[in-house]
Amino acid sequence: MAAASSLHVAAPAATPRVGSAGPKSASAARSVRVARSGAGARPGGRLVACAAVATKADAPASEAASKSEGHEVLLFEALREGLMEEMQADPTVCVFGEDVGHYGGSYKVTKGLADMFGDLRVLDTPIAENSFTGMGVGAGMKGLRPVIEGMNMGFLLLAYNQISNNCGMLHYTSGGQFKIPLVIRGPGGVGRQLGAEHSQRLESYFQSIPGLQMVACSTPYNAKGLMKAAIRSENPVVLFEHVLLYNLKEKIPDEEYTLCLEEAEMVRPGEHVTILTYSRMRYHVMQAAKTLVNKGYDPEVIDIRSLKPFDLHTIGNSIKKTHRVLIVEECMRTGGIGASLRSAIIDNFWDYLDAPIMCLSSQDVPTPYAATLEDATVVQPAQIVAAVEQICQ
C-alpha cells in the first residue's frame, strides 16, 4: 500500500473539451477526462507509489500571460464557475451538502446551480455530515463524481471516519476495484470572531490519511483552476477555501483552464530567503514583503498550493538559490503542514541550507472570540519581517 506521502496523480491525457457542450453520456464524459498534472501517465490513471514528493520536468506557462484578458470575479464566483462548467460538461458531477440547493450554500458557491441542474444533482442534505459524506463515497464508487460541501470545515470532523477509512483507503483495500473521484470542499480558517469551533484548520487532521490529496486556493484564478482539476481527478481531493478570501476580486481568463494539483506558484521571485506559505497567509507574507524590500531584503515568496504532496521541485530550486527558508502558515504549530514541510526540506535539501529553517504558525490554543486575542493567535506581518531579519543575519 502506498504511503500517505507518496500520493501522485497520473491521469491519462485526452483531448481538451471545446465550449460548454458536454458528452452525451456518463461513459463518454469519463472518456474525455483531462488532468493536466505534472506526472507522467500510469496504467489506470490512479495513485501510484513514487518519490515522496510531486515533481515536474518543465516550468508551466506564465499564469500572468493567461490572465491578460478575461473577466473579473470574486473568489466564490470563480469556484462556482468552475463547478458549473464541470457539471455542464459531465452529467456524473453532482453536489451534496447542507443548504447547497436553492439557498446556494453558506457562502453562495452553489448559488443558482439547483435551478440549472435540478434538485437531484444539487442535493440538499440533512445536518448529518457523516451520512452525506458516506453517501458521496458510495456515489463515487458507483461512477458519479460527487462534490461534498462542508458548511464549515470544522463540521467535517463528524465525517472523519468516512473520509479516512472509506474515502482515502477504499481504492487500496478493494484491490483497485473501486475509484473514489470525490471532492470535499468548504470554508475554513480563522475568520473574524467566529469562535473556536468555526475557526478550525483541518489540514493537519487530514494530511496523514493515505490516499487523500489536499490543495488550498488563495486567488480567484487558482480557485477555479483547482476546483476543475479536483473534479476531474480520479483521486479523492480536499479543497481548502479560506473564509476571509471569498470576496477577493481578480480577472480570470474567459477560456477554459485547469491547474496542476501538485504544483506550487511562484508569487514573487527573490534572492535572499524563500518564504513558503499558502491560503490567507499569502497576503500577510506579501504585506511583509513590502516592508522587507524597503529594508533592503529580497524575499522569494512561494504559494505551495498543494499541501499533499508538496511540490519539492519548485521549492527545492528556490532553496538552492536562497539557502534560507521561512515557512508561514495559519495551521497549528504542532503536527501542522509547516512541520511536515520542514521535515521534507531537511530530508531533501539539507546540504543547501545556510541557516535553520524557521516556521511561523498559529498558537496551539482554541481560537478566541475576542478580536485582539484572535489576532494574537495568528501570524502577523510584523512577525514575518522579524523572522526574515533573524534568518538573514
For residues 275 and 190, membership in a common domain is answered with no
What is the average pLDDT across 133-140? 96
For residues 232 and 271, membership in a common domain is answered with no
The last residue of one of the domains, among 253, 281, 309, is 253
For residues 246 and 287, membership in a common domain is answered with no
Q: What is the pLDDT of residue 48?
A: 30
117 Rama sector, left if φ>0, alpha if ψ -120 to 50, beta otherwise = alpha
Q: How confident is the model at residue 145 (pLDDT cuts 50, 70, 90)?
A: very high
What is the average pLDDT across 97-122? 94
Task: Indicate which CATH number applies to the domain containing 220.
Answer: 3.40.50.970
Inside any domain, residue 311: yes
The last residue of one of the domains, among 253, 284, 301, is 253
Inside any domain, residue 309: yes
Q: H helices of 242-380, where?
A: 281-294, 312-322, 337-349, 371-377
Q: How confident is the model at residue 154 (pLDDT cuts 50, 70, 90)?
A: confident
Residue 193: alpha-carbon gap to chain centroid:
24
Q: What is the pLDDT of residue 168?
A: 87
> Burial code of 45-70, b = ≥16 C-beta within 10 A, e = fewer?
bbbbebebbbbbeeeeeebeebbeee
What is the average pLDDT across 368-375? 91
Q: What is the pLDDT of residue 292?
A: 97
The conformation of residue 374, written as its DSSP 8-state character, comes to H
Backbone angles phi, psi at 321, to 5 degrees: -90, -45
For residues 100 and 204, membership in a common domain is answered with yes
pLDDT in tens, 45-76: 333 333 334 444 344 444 554 545 899 999 99
Q: What is the pLDDT of residue 63?
A: 52
Higher pLDDT, 303 or 365: 303
Residue 150: alpha-carbon gap to chain centroid:
15
For residues 217 and 103, membership in a common domain is answered with yes
In the block, residue with C-alpha cell 479536483: 230
Q: What is the pLDDT of residue 200?
A: 85
For residues 112 and 243, membership in a common domain is answered with yes
**What percent of the chain is modeled with pLDDT above 70?**
83
For residues 165 and 305, membership in a common domain is answered with no
Inside any domain, residue 50: no
Note the pTM of the prediction, 2 decimals. 0.82
Strand partners, 308: 214
Inside any domain, residue 25: no
What is the pairing mode between strands 145-149 and 183-188?
A: parallel
For residues 213 and 270, membership in a common domain is answered with no
Q: Is the pLDDT assigned to residue 34 strictly greater than 60? A: no
Q: How confident is the model at residue 193 (pLDDT cuts 50, 70, 90)?
A: confident
Task: Indicate which CATH number applies to the domain containing 311.
Answer: 3.40.50.920
For residues 94 and 215, membership in a common domain is answered with yes
Catalytic residues: 129, 198
Q: Is the pLDDT assigned to residue 226 strictly greater than 50? A: yes
Domain count, the chain: 2
Inside any domain, residue 239: yes
Inside any domain, residue 78: yes
What is the average pLDDT across 132-153? 95
Q: What is the pLDDT of residue 192?
A: 85
Q: What is the pLDDT of residue 274?
A: 98
For residues 216 and 121, membership in a common domain is answered with yes
Q: What is the pLDDT of residue 29?
A: 39
pLDDT in tens, 9-26: 333 333 333 333 333 333
What is the average pLDDT across 135-139? 96
For residues 89 and 209, membership in a common domain is answered with yes
Inside any domain, residue 131: yes
For residues 92 and 227, membership in a common domain is answered with yes
Give Cα separations from 79 to 92, 141, 242, 351 (angstroms): 18, 25, 12, 41
234: containing domain:
71-253
Least confident of 188-202, 251-265, 364-378: 188-202
The last residue of one of the domains, among 253, 275, 296, is 253
Q: What is the pLDDT of residue 230?
A: 98
Q: Is the pLDDT assigned to residue 100 strictly greater than 60? A: yes
Inside any domain, residue 59: no
Averaged pLDDT of the chain: 85
Element housing 134 (H / E):
helix 129-141
